[in-house]
Amino acid sequence: MNKFVGAKKTELNELARIADRVSFIYVEHAKVNRLDSAITVSDYRGVVNIPCAIIGVLLLGPGTEVSHRAIEILGDTGTAVVWVGERGVRYYASGRSLAHSTKLLEKQAKLVSNVRSRLDVARKMYAMRFGNEDVANLTMQQLRGREGSRIRKVYREHSLKNNVKWDGRDYNVDNFTDSNPVNQALSAANVALYGVCHSIITALGMSPGLGFVHTGHDKSFVYDVADLYKAELTIPLAFELASKVGENDDIGKLARLAFRDKMADGKVMQKIVADLQDLMDVSDADKISANFIELWDDKNGNQKYGVNYRED
């Protein structure tokens, strides 16, 4: 008779409800391994054990090494694993999604496959940007026109506020430096925003390619979602940096770091999770909650995410 070694695979009815889980745990510059039904995270400070059943999404940042055995137990417990840039500002790859069912994916596919429902979701997306304006009867052409006017106004306002010359959005995807500083900052910050949106979409089990406004690209839905937040996140940041940047400064790097810091408190991720489910008309009973992003600490309780805890 073969002796069973290690923990048995967790049954679905034994798993913690998604709403009861820690929403996101971010790990960087550490080694992730497995000990029975927990993963171990070790760095220069020591080792902590994290019970897998309470992890919703594990974000693996730069400098992380993860063992096959750790991925095995995370897969068995239904934990979403996403390989990301620092604090999630790049999306590289992912394992399974957080959701045990395909409800969100099916809802997304159903809505995008019907012209009327696709238009309804697109209108909701534009309504989120326009505030109290009624867009219920506007066509896609009218919506794009109003969005164009709105975004040009946002650019002008931040141009005047920061005393930065603005001649329009101009960038070369094959040559990052072939544009002025504010356009470089916009490009860098937008790419960081795409990474965060991509990670969340994947973690929720949705398709990054099934877009409602954008189409024909494997990141169409990523661009849809990111466009909801540019006016409040990346555009103000880019103009502010452009007003302060020196001639020899790497404004692309500065933009990435500044956007990374905006992710530190987890509020943007929390909002994206909620907004995605509102767009898909998910009922309150079925919604996945992302209430906080924390770092696991076995002695002092969960610690605030985005804080440098290095000991000198």
> For the chain, percent helix, then strand, then coil, each to nearest 5?
45, 15, 40
Of 235 and 80, the structure prediction assigns the larger pLDDT to 235
Binding residues for Mn(2+): 147, 214, 227
Residue 7 has a pLDDT of 44
Residue 20 pLDDT level (bands cut at 50, 70, 90): very low
By DSSP bridging, strand 46-51 and strand 38-43 are antiparallel
Residue 46 pLDDT level (bands cut at 50, 70, 90): confident
> In the predicted model, what is the mean pLDDT of residues 187-205?
91
Residue 1 has a pLDDT of 47
> In the predicted model, what is the mean pLDDT of residues 302-308?
50
Buried b (16+ CB within 10 A) or exposed e, 146-180: bbeebbeebbeebbeebebebeeeeeeeeeeeebb
CA torsion angle for 11, 12, 16, 22 (degrees, to 10)?
100
Return the closest-CA partner of residue 47 out of 60, 34, 59.
Answer: 34
Binding residues: 147, 214, 227
pLDDT at 124 over 60: yes
Residue 136 has a pLDDT of 86
CB proximity list for 275: less than 8 A, separation 6 or greater = 128, 225, 228
CATH classification code of 103-284 = 1.20.120.920
Residue 145 pLDDT level (bands cut at 50, 70, 90): very high
Residue 89's identity, in one-letter code, is V
Which two structure tokens, joined as six digits, stand for 62? 């730069």
Residue 245 has a pLDDT of 83
Q: Please state which of the four CATH numbers 2.40.50.140, 3.100.10.20, 3.40.50.720, 3.30.565.10 is assigned to the domain occupying 12-98+288-304.
A: 3.100.10.20
Listed by start position, the domains of the chain span 12-98+288-304, 103-284
Distance CA 94, CA 83 (A): 6
